[in-house]
Amino acid sequence: MTTATIATATPYPYSFDLSRTALVIIDMQRDFVEPGGFGETLGNDVSLLQSIIPAVAAMLAGWRRAGGLVIHTREAHAPDLHDCPPPKRLRGAPSLRIGDKGPMGRILIAGEPGNDIVPELAPIEGEWVIDKPGKGAFYATRLHERLQAAGITHLLFMGVTTEVCVQTSMREANDRGYECLIVEDGTASYFPEFHKAALAMMTAQGGIVGWSATSGMVLKEL
């Protein structure tokens, strides 16, 4: 077992063994990140999310070279929406709702073009792809059981958005006993102030949810 330590992580050094650590990339889907997708129809500036693709791609490439486990998630519902609670679909007044026909197919429906991960970060053979019907990666999935079977104890998180699906997944993981780190420049929000606040909340009080570090800090230790 070889342990790496990110000495400059917040709030204090973070140590991990690559063989027991997974890189989790949350919801880097076309509908959230690309122009013309669901995120943009909600009135958001998707360029804020697109800006992290180079950092995520660099981390992903480095992690693959090191031989670490990679997990991709997609927020995805069944075509008949049986796994989408009505309050989730009907909340607010968007121009398009989950299941509606959008510029890249039906919104957040498994198998539709907009539900795919952006090409720059596309999964390769051997990487896990988790379709999740909720914000968190552990809700209504078998992710926890699969991680336990693989001997994983540490998780590094990237993806979008910081304060919603990434933070929810990291909090779920923390409650299940995983030692978690969020990659600061590998996650983003449509609202930059929410990104900053989420990072602060998760690392406060001695790392109440976990640690944070930049992609450069992680790659240096790989």
Pair 25, 32: CB distance under 8 Å: no
**Could you give the 3-state DSSP secondary structure of residue 119?**
helix
Q: Which two tokens stand for residue 212?
A: 């944070």
Q: Which of 168, 172, 166, 171 is nearest to 184 (CA)?
A: 166
Of 32, 22, 34, 40, nearest to 76 (Cα)? 32
Tell me how far apart the alpha carbons of residues 136 and 90 are, in angstroms, rounded to a whole number.
19
Provide the residue count of the chain.
Answer: 222
116 is catalytic: no
Angle at 51 between CA 46 and CA 56, to 5 degrees: 120
135: annotated active-site residue: no
- DSSP run (H or E) holding 186: strand 179-188
Cβ-defined contacts of 32-36 (< 8 Å, 24+): 32/160, 32/161, 33/118, 33/160, 34/104, 34/114, 34/118, 36/103, 36/104
Catalytic-role residue among 27, 31, 116, 185: 27
| Active-site residue identified among 31, 135, 165, 180 | 165
Find the catalytic residue in 116, 132, 135, 180.
132
Examine the residue annotation and report whether 27 is marked as an active-site residue of this protein.
yes
Catalytic site residues? 27, 132, 165
